[in-house]
Chain A
């Protein structure tokens, strides 16, 4: 176990050293100019004493080559300046209509409160924390450091993160274009929590003249509720992603990617694995001259899941001889369109289809229509009509409505 653990310690240490060396290289090479009292022209009529009484000049004090003037006072006034940007985002969700399935949400619910703290750590890194308060959970949704000054187009993140698997997995609830997550997320990607774990993420840019290309390699402890479990240190989750992007015109672009994830399944029998492969594609159109009034985003994500099951579990015929277990192969996808038709109004639609990871013979299907109104950049009211036909024969017709509201720092808009 220790041998499995150590290389990642080395990996992180090297990453941090590389960050420090790359960004602090210049200051390290420049020798600190030593204070030279002779530098200033001294009047000749005042001969200096042969041996002036020496005194240790505290670093940072005037005359030591450091900043002059009063030393910083660690009182409330100066500490406030360095407080992180803080925001609190509320996500209130309601439901009207019929849904007898396990996916049903309560009639009225303070679905989630998210508190965010974000700031630059030092010249080499920034940190982002997202705490979540939900009816059945209080926890760290994400909390990570990002080393922004690594060489060679590298970006290293360490902490708890939503894994870079596809698009929706990386989105927090309040920035989703819907009130819910697609059925494929519920069935194959671990539900609302998704692939979200403590780990390391290393991303590299491959600058070239044709397209934006980024490769991301991530390793996680292996604990994502409903998806991966890690009773032992070796039960790590690996995630890989290749993302491409290309401007078609100044107003239109294509964003596409492929993702991979593998980890130890949540199962009573230890040592079974779940493998996920994903593909995603998004087309965006936003005319620059009317950017605040019109935009169109069409997107789709496809996920193929292969989950090893203990021999007695349901099967779709395939038997893994090596493990003495069967594997369930399930496929799921969604396709959606969002269209902004006025400064504050958005309309959308989404189609869902997903098999269940443990039993691909059960297929859940759904269709949604959405209308969103933004009173301002800081609040949003949304209604979603959702029809679903679940694999176990349950049909649901609902109207979901949502209020999202944020106070505090103005966050950046995700792309």
Chain B
């Protein structure tokens, strides 16, 4: 009996003695495809990077699959969006990943929101009557190219800290990425310039940073409150506001049901625009810069087609 009871101890001893395999490239796991794209811009071929969520998936509602646990187990670095976006699924994965590096506060845990410009931070009393509010601000902050650069800088700093041998490489890639974003942003802003202040409605509060950067005026949301599905009374009030203000564009994330937006569009003469909020949301939005190429083109085309103001 005694030897039997010592077995777990022996088992543990053997397991602890096993050496950890040493990998060459840093193994980076990101929660979303946008962070994956940004990490790839900076890390190039010196890192392996993979996202848990797909770009066409609602990042609030990802399932904590055991296969993700394995990916996190092997990760050197976990990059999360933060601001409680992944609250519903990431914590149990991290706990069970058996990886001390990527625990919150660990050397291999990067909250990408810490250096970004965050909007919609609620003030005053917050209750769940307001829906699924994010008390620390809007987590869809990557939809602003300036924040994209800020996130890339944070990733470059973290990669350089973890892999100092390639620090010069990451610095160069970061500088190149910032140059390309700046150049592209001039083009996007030029395309959007004639339509500054154009009024739109969005399904979820995903586009605050995008609207802020490109000068859209979001007058309302299809959701009555964040995370609460459309209700008839809210939809009627929204249609009234859209008619009064002559709103012609309804932006819908690809993972939401377009039924209510379509009926609003029919009633008000507006156009439903299924626009990807993340890299990979549509096939052509295959990297961070192409995400904005895609969104800006779709938006400009829709504004021209509807004559929205």
Contact = CB atoms under 8 A, between A and B. Distances in A.
Nearest to B127: A407
A378 B128 contact: yes
B122 interface: no
Nearest to B5: A7
B124 interface: no
B16 to A, nearest CB: 6
A48 B11 CA distance: 60
The range of chain B's interface size is: 35 or more
A407 B128 CA distance: 8
Given A10-B9, A293-B257, A205 B73 contact: yes
A212 interface: yes
Contact of A155 (B64, B89, B91, B98): B98
A22 interface: yes
A149 B5 CA distance: 24
Contacts of B94: 148
B283 interface: no
Contacts of B91: 412
A410 B84 contact: yes
Given A11-B12, A205-B69, A410 B106 contact: no
B69 A152 contact: no
B254 interface: yes
Contacts of A204: 15
A289 interface: yes
Given A344-B229, A376-B227, A205 B95 contact: no
A252 to B, nearest CB: 11
B73 A153 contact: yes
Contact of A376 (B5, B9, B58, B128): B128
Given A205-B98, A290-B255, A415-B63, A217 B70 contact: no
Contacts of A344: 229
Contacts of A152: 15-16, 18
B54 A288 contact: yes
B58 A292 contact: yes
A292 B65 contact: no
A238 B257 CA distance: 48
A248 to B, nearest CB: 11
A245 B67 contact: yes
A214 to B, nearest CB: 8
Contact of B66 (A8, A124, A410, A415): A415
A413 interface: yes
Interface string B75-110: 000000000100111111011111010011110000
A171 interface: no
Contacts of A288: 54, 56-57, 255
Given A7-B2, A205-B69, A343-B229, A153 B63 contact: no
Contacts of A217: 8, 11
Interface in A248-295: 250, 253, 255, 284, 286, 288-293
Contacts of A378: 128
B89 A412 contact: yes
Interface in A377-415: 377-378, 407, 410, 412-415
Question: Chain A CB within 10 Å — which of B87, B100, B103, B106 has the most?
Answer: B100
Given A123-B106, A413-B88, A202 B98 contact: no
Contacts of A293: 257
Given A4-B5, A289-B57, A289-B255, A377 B227 contact: yes
B255 A292 contact: yes
Contacts of B6: 7
A64 interface: no
Interface string B195-232: 00000000000000000000000000000000111000
A151 interface: yes
Contacts of A202: 8, 12
A207 B88 contact: no
B70 A212 contact: yes
A415 B96 CA distance: 12
Contacts of A155: 96, 98
B165 interface: no
A369 interface: no
Contact of B12 (A154, A207, A246, A286): A154
B120 interface: no
Interface string A175-215: 00000000000000000000000000010110100001010
A336 interface: no
Contacts of A302: none
B189 interface: no
A342 B79 CA distance: 32
B70 to A, nearest CB: 5
A229 to B, nearest CB: 19
A115 B289 CA distance: 46
A111 interface: no
A18 B69 contact: no
A150 B98 contact: yes
A131 to B, nearest CB: 20
Contacts of A219: 8
Nearest to A255: B66
A148 B104 CA distance: 11
Interface in A223-244: 234, 243
Contacts of A18: 12, 16
A234 B227 CA distance: 52
Given A8-B5, A202-B8, A212 B18 contact: no
Closest 4 CB pairs of A and B: A149-B100, A152-B15, A245-B66, A212-B66
Interface of B: 1-2, 5-6, 8-9, 11-13, 15-16, 18, 20, 54, 56-58, 61-67, 69-70, 73-74, 84, 87-92, 94-98, 100, 103-106, 128, 131-132, 227-229, 254-257
17 contacts: A4-B5, A7-B5, A14-B12, A15-B12, A22-B100, A120-B105, A151-B16, A151-B20, A154-B12, A212-B66, A212-B70, A290-B257, A377-B132, A407-B128, A410-B84, A412-B88, A415-B63
Interface of A: 3-4, 7-8, 10-11, 14-15, 18, 22-23, 120, 123-124, 126, 146, 148-155, 202, 204-205, 207, 212, 214, 217, 219, 234, 243, 245-247, 250, 253, 255, 284, 286, 288-293, 343-344, 376-378, 407, 410, 412-415
Given A120-B104, A291-B61, 13 more contacts: A14-B13, A123-B103, A148-B98, A148-B103, A155-B98, A212-B69, A212-B70, A217-B8, A284-B63, A378-B128, A410-B87, A412-B64, A415-B64
